[in-house]
Chains A and B, each alone.
Chain A
């Protein structure tokens, strides 16, 4: 991870760590914090705890997003302090809805300049964000909303497994990772398990990101905690609830970053500090039946 972040994530980059609730690569976010990257434009649909931590650590200049809360719990307080002008430095924001962000990645992945969608009529979002515009359909004359392509410098995707060539398989909620990866200049894949190419080839429909677009593969078991990896470990809802009180108090948040980010050297160190996690969150078995790919 250290090498991947040092090679592929640079100061000033637009960085996407995608994953909708599922497969959010906290291990990569923590390494970016440790390497003290600065002036990043952080983009994702739901900034989640990981961008709250990166904002608190001073990595972000700008946030591009569509829903900045702690799901089912409340606020991301480092984000709120920055946007409400209660912390130093401030934070530039560029805000869409989920459909808008998905459409931005779709345009980026297809290398189109924008994506049309039937949306935003009657809302104040285009006033708040002048990059939400409109176009007249050349066939029907209908006015459609548009959002600009998003082409990140680097996208980091966590997944269950990949082969050494970066062919990456994931299952469960797959969010917008495929589009984000194809839209990106560089792609880092972080996996729970490295598998033989033959394992990938035995089930090609499960491959979401092909090795040809991947810059680097990192093997990092538990790299998504407190997010989760379907079939490997559950979401740590207790930690998401605990983040409310940690993030509310800047000193407490700073102590959290010291203890769990700066004072550990990698994910293995993070897991050693919390030996009870693995037993508490390990996934139960629910195997699928598999299919016949023969011809």
Chain B
């Protein structure tokens, strides 16, 4: 445990050093150093103008995440239980996963117009596919012997699903949700960069346009800290769930 924490500190320390080094190499027209960025970020969080943007991003992200999770779980479970559909759709889903979704962006804009719905749509299409794929695989790869045990205990189908199949599939399903979380966030942010006059993505684009390096760095810092922080927590839960797997 101690080495794990020490390693974590070494990593963060190393990244901060590299950051500082880039600053020293390229100067403050390109990048602001760690200390200054953190101060500015803290300052931003206290500003009145900042909060509505934060809220807009949060709302869009939450909505996208909800749709991606619930929709993804339902579809994944359905495809997992119905073998034939699962087999038919799997390569289609994998293909969808590999397409640069940014190219579908204009299509989304044309369908949803500018604004909140486009952002949510974009976040959803990024996040839903991994949830479906992981959930489907989890259900399909359930050990057949578990089903036999269920029949031995005379379980009804819904009871079997609830007490055996879903707990057995949970570790993989959770991994899908974790990946879905990160991708939905990325999708929502990219969506905001073009489809909105509100939100962190928009602020970022504006800062790029105005060449406001401090703002760019501060927002980037906030996003990176949030994304990696949540991901680390979700990963820890993910590992716990998988450790119980035989």
Are A and B physically bound partners? no
User: What residues make up the interface of B, taking CB atoms closer than 8 Å to A?
Assistant: none
User: What residues make up the interface of A, taking CB atoms closer than 8 Å to B?
Assistant: none
